[in-house]
A and B are shown apart, each in its own frame.
Chain A
Amino acid sequence: MGEVRQKKRKEKEKSTGKKKHSKVFLKKNKSSDKRRLNRRGPQLAPSLRREVGQVKGDIESDDYEFSDCSEGETFPGDVYEYEEAAPEEESRKNRRYDTVDNYDYELPDHFKDEDVSSDDEEIDGRNGKGNLMEDSDDDDLKKDDGSHARMLQNITGMPREAFEGKKKSNIVISEAYQESEYNPSRDVLDGNGLISIEDLLNPLQGKPGYSMLRKQIHQTEKKSMALQAPLPKADQERVERKVAYEQSKKEVSKWEPIVKKNREASTLYLGEDVDLGYSTVGAIASEFKPRTEIEKKIASLVRDGKIMEAHRNDGSKLLELNKVSFEEEKDRQNRLAKMRSLLFRHEMKAKHIKKIKSKTYHRLLKKDRVKEASVQIEMDPDAAKELAMKQEFKRAEERMTLKHKNSSRWAKRILSRGLNAQDEGTRAAIAEQLHQHANLTRKMHTLKDSSSSSDESSDEEYSDDQSADESNSRASKLLEKAKEKTLKALEDGEEAPNSGLLALPFMVRGMKKREEAAAEEAKIAIQEFESLSKQLNNSETENIDTETNSGRRTFGSMKKSAPEPRKKTKSEYYGDTDDEDDTEAREAVEYDGDNNKSSLFADANIDSDILCEDSKTHQNSVFKSFDETVRDPGPKTTHEVAIFASGTWKKVKAKDLEKRVDSKPSTIVSSKPELQGQVTKETMQDVDDQSDSDQELMVDGVLSSANNESYELPSQSDLIRQAFAGDDVEEEFEKQKEEILNEENPEPEKPVLLPGWGQWTHVQKKKGLPSWMLKEHELANKKRQEALKNRKDANLKHVIISEKVDKKAEKLYTKTLPFPYTEKDVFEHSIRMPIGPDFNPTSAVGALNRPEVVKKSGVIIKPIEFEEVDTHQKVEEHKQKGQKQKRKNGKTNQGKSAKKMKKGGA
């Protein structure tokens, strides 16, 4: 008995000492094991399990034999446990647990638990009793267990071991001897004195599920490591982030090929698979089906057969009702006309009312008018004349009516009352009126006399002039006119006014004086005019002569009598502009006044040198023919033979030419056979043909062969000059090139002494120019040289290539590289091909000009969807795919539309 108690106590001590550990480790293990076992083992039907639930709880409680305090407690798997002197359920501090009156495995209330009692030695007897009781209870439990297992076996029909298995492991092996210093327990003898898992496992050997359990334990042992302390939070997060990043990277990188494909695609098709539905109102309307009550009702009414038919029949009748009677229509028109006329009148009235202006307005207007008129009188003689006329008219009117001579009713009334009786205002008004009368009736002499008569006469004369002599030059006309005017003025001046203010003696004296001075002036002027007109007349008379002959006005003929004797020899190689005859000068002025260049322009062409290597007709003939353009027809004394020589041309006087014709051609012609004669004839004809003669030689399109004698041969010296013309040309070209180079890359200015700076001390002279100036000059020179070197024509002696920037053409070139490009070369190569339909076959134009994005308007662009993309796919397929897609889309569209239609129908 005592032994038993001892052992019990020990056990209890152990249990209390190890309470924590055992609870933590063993129990946890066990519970997990058990759960596993439960899973692995033969399974109960859920209904049975529910029934068995209570019993199971028993089994579980049995498992925790060492820890009685765990009764009815569910372990949430906490590692740590709150330790209290008394268990919570006992102390009833925390009433989370349902209080159960009596479990059949529970001890009765009166029985005191050992655990609770702190002092075991004090109550030995009680203990013994308690032990006894416990023992009996234990037995009871065992018995109970056994019967329970049997019962389960009966119910489930499973072997008993299935239910007993766990219980066996809990068998307490009692020691043979009492534990003491002399009788150590086996554990102590073995070494560590702890119970290992193997110890616990061994007894299970041979039981079903054992091997599994052992394997698991082995595994856990193998893998078992000491739990490390958790990482600091920052590190932990970093690790987590890293993992997350990897994960997300993988997730994202699967999109890469799609994105790449889209970015490199020349065309993106967006929203291709979206069906936009009906495109027309009609299509929508045709699909309409009534849904709501009202719609259905309306539809039933509208589509009712009877109604439709009635409507069809009734239509014509309805139209008949549209007829309107004649009277009604007439009435309506009348009404409208009346309204219109009323409106018109109203409008007119409004206009009239709007036009009416206030008194002050009119007064101001009048004032303005008067002012303007006064100004005009001063400026314009015509206006003055007009005004005078008006004044005259008014005077006449005034004399007729005597309107202002107190003849009005108002004036009469006032006069009858007596002027003295009136106030000052009225008196002033009367005086004003009288004054006005006086003003109006005063005779005007001055204006009338001078203006009217003289103007008329001058006009007449002017017209006379015109009729008499059309061809008079403008200058002479002006002169004459001026002369006549002055004469007239003189004559006019001699007339003296007989009456009026000007007739007063002192006025007359003053006028005389003035007239005398004016007459003197006029005389001088007339003299001048005469001298001028004489000069003009000299030329004019001749002009008139020719005119009478030709009946036309020709300026060209003036040359005939041109006084300047023209002696031009061949020695003038560079034709001077000054020497050119009048017509030429005139032309030069006509076109631009460009005298320098006019020396260059050639009046005639060299005709073709007749030379053919292969034609046998002409054997190396030296003969040359010259085309001549004869500027002035007929008996013109000079002919111009143009000879190209160093870009200039010269004129040879006719006499010289004639001489030459006399002397040289005769020899030539004589030496040559008839052949050449023929040729000369032809060339002569050619000369004729090419002549741009001013005189119209053609009558009805047929040329009258007039001047065949104009053919000339060039002199020997001319030929030589022509032959050696090249030397000059080259030099000249070089000069030109230099000029242009200087123009496009100007030479830097030579530095000059600075004015003012140290001038009187001669510092500059002594020291020379400042070094920076020299440096600058040198730099500029260098720059220029480089620029010249870089020119395209630097190595081409005979070519000048302009490097001027054409501002108008600038817009045709790219100024900066467009965005994605970084290199000029790549850009220029990429635009080398034209992409228009003119330069590409139709099969390629579409692809070349497809827009970057193809999209239907009004369609929402959806985000890209994942699809497998073959990264090695080529672009060719890409395009095909695009087309396929289109086709597919078409199909899907159809399907979808069908669906939609269905929806619409539903």
Chain B
Amino acid sequence: MEKELGNVVAERILPPTEQEISNEIDVKVKKYMRGEGANLEVLKDKKLKGQLSVIEDLYGKSAKAAAKVEKWLMPSEGGYLETEGLEKTWRIKQETISHEVDILSRRNQHDIILPALGPYSIDYTSNGRYMAIAGRKGHLALVDMKDLNLIKEFQVKETVRDVVFLHNELFFAAAQKKYPYIYNREGTELHCLKEHGSVLRLQFLKNHFLLVSINKFGQLHYQDVTTGSMVGSFRTGLGRTDVMQVNPFNGVIATGHSGGSVAMWKPTSSAPLVKMLCHPGPVSALAFHPNGHLMATSGAERKIKLWDLRKFEVLQTLPGHAKTLDFSQKGLLAYGTGSFVQVLGDLSGAQSYTRYMAHSMAKGYQIGKVLFRPYEDVLGIGHSMGWSSILIPGSGEPNFDTWVANPFETSKQRREKEVRSLLDKLPPETISLNPSKIGTLVAVKKKEKKTKKERDAEEEAAVDAAKGITMKKKTKGRNKPTKREKKKHEIIEKAKRPFLHEQIKEEELSRKRSRLSEEVELPKSLQRFAHKKTVT
């Protein structure tokens, strides 16, 4: 008691700044504790109780250390546009921003006009350093975004519909006219993935090393890029679509379809995990919040909907049509239609997205893809006349973990990381709606009983197999026909035996059950006697 009192007093006495800090850390500790500990009071096993309490203490310490690290070693905070008075954030133009920011950031505002080779789609590496661009008419290029240096540019002379980086900038896959291809940084064609067919959209699961594609016929393919094996391939059965996005939280692939439905897939089952009707018209775009709980969809009926994926309910419905959608690392939502880009933000923190910024391109540019650059406050836009990038303050994660993604990676670090990530590669089965449930207890359903027909069929098959056995030719009197016949008979009997055993067991069980039911069905007046009997 005294100690507790002492603690309370100490808390009160803490100076305000420290108090604030401790409060802040407490919040973070709670985050790192990942839920509450078990209620140990219930436990009867003292040994287990002791051990668990020790472990729980360790967890607490670890969380505290992590919270402190976060507090003191990740000091940079993301900024936002703030306005005074009647000014609105969405009225602020890129030009005005460029006047305020430093030179390095200013370099991130640019338009590259390449009118000849059609609408461009873009992709960034996970560390945000490199960008791959793919022009519809066969233009593929790799750009180092740090110094805006063109690493490689080449022309494949056929339609390219999508491009996606594999685990690092060394490899990227491009969905071309007939098949997707994998190229390396030098533009050398490494693989032609014929099994995928003519792919409309590509995605890559970094933790599972799976390349996912959806082709013209609505077939979904999962290919393991480390072994080359096709992990899963199934028809969506929902028609042709080029709306596909991976949920970064759990690796589930979501596809939007013309029927207004969004289906979520995993590589180990041919039926969708979840199928939800999001829009009355076709789904035109789809994006996931990095925390995996929020999904944005846009339909042809000019509505953008935000979904809570834990409850599968609509959180918010916004007016507007989006050809492409993307969430930033900090949760800003960008959508592009025609030549206009708008960024929504959850500014109040109550999961209600409101307008944050807007940007309109030159008239007539058709935006094909918007994509936030990781670890930078930059939004990349691929459009019909090239690609451009604009500044969206507060979109990127300001603190990067070099173990996760390092924008300043050296080649040696990249190699190290490649090996590490290969060692940590997750098997495709781990993809599920809630990956945090892995390892928990799941009651296995009992096998259903075989029907009599099935059993009979099995028995017959077994007997046939036994009959088909060719006998050895034995010598010295053991090859007599009588003996052979006997042996044959024996073999058949042997094959039958397990089935008979099973039958007997079942019969016994049913008999027991019937007995039990008889006991239960005693008249009420007699029941107590029966009960007594069993007691004594």
> Residues of A with Cβ closer than 8 Å to B?
260, 263-266, 587, 591-592, 594, 597-598, 600-603, 605-615, 617-618, 644, 646-647, 649, 678-679, 682, 685-686, 689-690, 692, 696, 698, 701-703, 722, 725-727, 729-730, 732-733, 736, 740, 793, 796, 798-802, 804-806, 808-817, 820-833, 838, 840-841, 843-845, 847-848, 875-876, 878
Q: How far is the CA of A601 from the CA of B239 in the complex (A)?
A: 4
Given contacts A591-B217, A644-B282, contact A686 B342 (CB under 8 A): no
Q: Most A CB atoms within 10 A — which of B272, B275, B439?
A: B275
Determine how close the nearest CB of chain A comes to the CB of B503; give it in whole angstroms: 21
Known: A266-B54, A703-B137, A840-B62. 12 other contacts (CB 8 A): A260-B50, A263-B50, A601-B217, A698-B158, A722-B281, A798-B312, A799-B312, A802-B271, A820-B51, A822-B44, A831-B439, A838-B403
- A800 engages B429 (CB within 8 Å): no
- B280 engages A729 (CB within 8 Å): yes
Selecting from B29-37, B287-295, B345-353, the interface stretch reads B29-37
The chain A residue sitting closest to B273, CB to CB, is A802
Residues of B contacting A733 in the complex (Cβ-Cβ under 8 angstroms): 259-261, 277
- A597 engages B237 (CB within 8 Å): yes
- A610 engages B337 (CB within 8 Å): yes
Determine how close the nearest CB of chain B comes to the CB of A461; give it in whole angstroms: 37
Q: How far is the CA of A702 from the CA of B155 in the complex (A)?
A: 10
- A847: which of B61, B238, B301, B338 is its contact (CB, 8 Å)? B61
- A726 engages B281 (CB within 8 Å): yes
Given contacts A613-B319, A615-B339, A799-B276, contact A825 B158 (CB under 8 A): no
Selecting from B8-16, B123-131, B440-448, the interface stretch reads B440-448
- A689 engages B119 (CB within 8 Å): yes
- B275 engages A799 (CB within 8 Å): yes
Residues of A contacting B300 in the complex (Cβ-Cβ under 8 angstroms): 606, 609, 644, 722
For window 233-248 of chain B, which residues contact chain A by CB distance below 8 Å? Answer: 235, 237-242
What are 15 residue pairs bridging A and B, where the CB atoms are less than 8 Å apart in the complex? A601-B240, A607-B366, A644-B258, A649-B258, A732-B259, A799-B312, A802-B274, A814-B442, A820-B47, A826-B42, A827-B440, A829-B36, A829-B39, A832-B35, A840-B66
Residues of A contacting B40 in the complex (Cβ-Cβ under 8 angstroms): 826
- B276 engages A841 (CB within 8 Å): no
- A266 engages B429 (CB within 8 Å): no
The chain A residue sitting closest to B156, CB to CB, is A701
- A830 engages B55 (CB within 8 Å): yes
- B217 engages A592 (CB within 8 Å): yes
For window 100-127 of chain B, which residues contact chain A by CB distance below 8 Å? Answer: 116-119
Given contacts A263-B47, A264-B50, A801-B273, contact A608 B444 (CB under 8 A): no
- B337: which of A608, A824, A840 is its contact (CB, 8 Å)? A608
Residues of A contacting B216 in the complex (Cβ-Cβ under 8 angstroms): 601
Selecting from B17-25, B356-364, B372-380, the interface stretch reads B356-364
Q: How far is the CA of A649 from the CA of B257 in the complex (A)?
A: 13
Given contacts A606-B282, A647-B258, contact A600 B238 (CB under 8 A): yes
- A809 engages B281 (CB within 8 Å): no
- B360 engages A614 (CB within 8 Å): yes
Q: How many A-B residue pairs have CB under 8 A?
A: 292
Residues of B contacting A612 in the complex (Cβ-Cβ under 8 angstroms): 337-340, 360
- B54 engages A265 (CB within 8 Å): yes
For window 463-478 of chain B, which residues contact chain A by CB distance below 8 Å? Answer: none
- A615 engages B439 (CB within 8 Å): no
Q: How far is the CA of A888 from the CA of B364 in the complex (A)?
A: 79
Q: How far is the CA of A594 from the CA of B274 in the complex (A)?
A: 23
Residues of B contacting A609 in the complex (Cβ-Cβ under 8 angstroms): 300, 302, 321, 337
For window 321-340 of chain B, which residues contact chain A by CB distance below 8 Å? Answer: 321, 323, 337-340
The chain A residue sitting closest to B259, CB to CB, is A647
Determine how close the nearest CB of chain B comes to the CB of A485; give it in whole angstroms: 39
- B281 engages A611 (CB within 8 Å): no
- A844 engages B65 (CB within 8 Å): yes
- A689 engages B48 (CB within 8 Å): no
Determine how close the nearest CB of chain A comes to the CB of B141; give it in whole angstroms: 13
Given contacts A692-B198, A825-B38, A830-B52, contact A808 B268 (CB under 8 A): yes
Per CB-CB distance, the 5 closest pairs between chain A and chain B, nearest first, are: A726-B280, A264-B50, A844-B62, A829-B38, A600-B239
- A690 engages B119 (CB within 8 Å): yes
Determine how close the nearest CB of chain B comes to the CB of A892; give it in whole angstroms: 27
User: Per-residue 0/1 for B368-405: is the Cβ within 8 Å of any A Cβ (1 yes, 0 no)?
Assistant: 00000000000000001000000000000000000100
- B119 engages A799 (CB within 8 Å): no
- B358 engages A614 (CB within 8 Å): yes
- B37: which of A702, A726, A829 is its contact (CB, 8 Å)? A829
- B442 engages A815 (CB within 8 Å): yes
Whether, in the assembled complex, B213 has its beta carbon less than 8 Å from a beta carbon of chain A, the answer is: no
Q: How far is the CA of A601 from the CA of B271 in the complex (A)?
A: 18
- B363: which of A617, A809, A823, A825 is its contact (CB, 8 Å)? A617
Residues of A contacting B436 in the complex (Cβ-Cβ under 8 angstroms): 832
Whether, in the assembled complex, B157 has its beta carbon less than 8 Å from a beta carbon of chain A, the answer is: yes
Given contacts A605-B242, A701-B155, contact A264 B38 (CB under 8 A): no
The chain B residue sitting closest to A266, CB to CB, is B54
Whether, in the assembled complex, B187 has its beta carbon less than 8 Å from a beta carbon of chain A, the answer is: no
Whether, in the assembled complex, B206 has its beta carbon less than 8 Å from a beta carbon of chain A, the answer is: no
Whether, in the assembled complex, B89 has its beta carbon less than 8 Å from a beta carbon of chain A, the answer is: no
Whether, in the assembled complex, B250 has its beta carbon less than 8 Å from a beta carbon of chain A, the answer is: no
Q: How far is the CA of A234 from the CA of B39 in the complex (A)?
A: 50
The chain A residue sitting closest to B62, CB to CB, is A844
Given contacts A804-B271, A808-B429, contact A831 B52 (CB under 8 A): no
Determine how close the nearest CB of chain A comes to the CB of B156; give it in whole angstroms: 9
- B240: which of A602, A702, A833 is its contact (CB, 8 Å)? A602
Determine how close the nearest CB of chain A comes to the CB of B344; give it in whole angstroms: 13
Residues of A contacting B158 in the complex (Cβ-Cβ under 8 angstroms): 696, 698
Residues of A contacting B217 in the complex (Cβ-Cβ under 8 angstroms): 587, 591-592, 598, 601
- B62 engages A820 (CB within 8 Å): no
Residues of B contacting A601 in the complex (Cβ-Cβ under 8 angstroms): 216-218, 239-240
Determine how close the nearest CB of chain A comes to the CB of B456; give it in whole angstroms: 18
- B38 engages A843 (CB within 8 Å): no
- A799 engages B157 (CB within 8 Å): no
- A686 engages B366 (CB within 8 Å): yes
Whether, in the assembled complex, B251 has its beta carbon less than 8 Å from a beta carbon of chain A, the answer is: no
Residues of B contacting A689 in the complex (Cβ-Cβ under 8 angstroms): 118-119, 136-137, 384
- B445 engages A805 (CB within 8 Å): yes
Residues of B contacting A830 in the complex (Cβ-Cβ under 8 angstroms): 37-38, 52, 55
- B444 engages A824 (CB within 8 Å): no
- B441 engages A827 (CB within 8 Å): yes
Q: How far is the CA of A800 from the CA of B238 in the complex (A)?
A: 14
Residues of A contacting B54 in the complex (Cβ-Cβ under 8 angstroms): 264-266, 875, 878
Determine how close the nearest CB of chain B comes to the CB of A645; give it in whole angstroms: 9
Determine how close the nearest CB of chain A comes to the CB of B369; give it in whole angstroms: 12
Q: How far is the CA of A592 from the CA of B428 in the complex (A)?
A: 25
Q: How far is the CA of A793 from the CA of B433 in the complex (A)?
A: 14
Q: How far is the CA of A644 from the CA of B34 in the complex (A)?
A: 45
The chain B residue sitting closest to A796, CB to CB, is B312
For window 426-458 of chain B, which residues contact chain A by CB distance below 8 Å? Answer: 428-430, 432, 436-442, 444-445
- A813 engages B438 (CB within 8 Å): yes
The chain A residue sitting closest to B445, CB to CB, is A805
- A726 engages B119 (CB within 8 Å): no
Determine how close the nearest CB of chain A comes to the CB of B62; give it in whole angstroms: 3
Whether, in the assembled complex, B1 has its beta carbon less than 8 Å from a beta carbon of chain A, the answer is: no
Q: Most A CB atoms within 10 A — which of B43, B58, B116?
A: B58
Residues of A contacting B62 in the complex (Cβ-Cβ under 8 angstroms): 833, 840-841, 844-845, 848
Residues of B contacting A682 in the complex (Cβ-Cβ under 8 angstroms): 364, 366, 384
Given contacts A798-B276, A800-B274, contact A847 B58 (CB under 8 A): yes
Q: How far is the CA of A801 from the CA of B274 in the complex (A)?
A: 4
Residues of B contacting A263 in the complex (Cβ-Cβ under 8 angstroms): 47, 50
Q: How far is the CA of A824 from the CA of B441 in the complex (A)?
A: 7
Whether, in the assembled complex, B69 has its beta carbon less than 8 Å from a beta carbon of chain A, the answer is: yes
- A812 engages B441 (CB within 8 Å): no
- A841 engages B45 (CB within 8 Å): no
Determine how close the nearest CB of chain B comes to the CB of A267; give it in whole angstroms: 9
